[in-house]
């Protein structure tokens, strides 16, 4: 973690969070594990990265799209603050939830 927003691969928070609700659970879990590895390697006194809702024991079906999107936005901001490259939080189109999940999306 470089602790800054420098570099050619800096995360653009607004661009990375625009147009969809949040990552699908598998993708979000993969990203969270990568953020935790980065934090464990060099915590620098920072709090742990925000947990995805399903890691925190919450049911995604009970959360609004707004709350899910807010948690994802916090996650992307955390990654940017740590100076991680955009590739860490990159999502393919099929990994994005365009709306809140229901029970059939798991």
80 belongs to a structural domain: yes
Residue 22, helix vs strand vs coil: strand
pLDDT band at 50 (very low <50, low <70, confident <90, very high): very high
Q: What is the pLDDT of residues 84-93, one digit of tens each?
A: 999 999 999 9
Element (H, E) at 96: strand 96-97
Question: Could you tell me whether strands 22-23 and 96-97 are parallel, antiparallel, or unpaired per DSSP bridges?
Answer: antiparallel
What pLDDT is recorded for position 11? 87
1 belongs to a structural domain: no
Measured CA to CA, the distance from residue 27 to residue 95 in angstroms comes to: 6
What pLDDT is recorded for position 62? 53
Q: How many domains does the chain have?
A: 1
39 belongs to a structural domain: yes
106 belongs to a structural domain: no
10 belongs to a structural domain: no
96 belongs to a structural domain: yes
DSSP label at 85? -
pLDDT band at 61 (very low <50, low <70, confident <90, very high): low
Residue 10's DSSP bridge partners are none
78 belongs to a structural domain: yes
C-beta of residue 31 within 8 angstroms of C-beta of residue 89: yes
- pTM of the entire predicted model: 0.76
């Amino acid at each position: 973690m470089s602790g800054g927003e420098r570099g050619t691969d800096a995360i653009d928070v607004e661009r990375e969070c625009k147009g969809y609700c949040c990552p699908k659970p598998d993708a979000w879990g993969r990203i969270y594990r990568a953020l935790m590895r980065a934090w464990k390697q060099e915590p620098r006194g920072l709090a742990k990265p925000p947990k995805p809702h399903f890691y925190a024991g919450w049911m995604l079906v009970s959360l609004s799209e707004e709350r899910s999107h807010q948690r994802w936005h916090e996650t992307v901001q955390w990654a940017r603050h740590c100076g991680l490259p955009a590739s860490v939080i990159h999502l393919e189109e099929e990994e994005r939830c365009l709306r809140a999940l229901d029970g059939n999306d798991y």
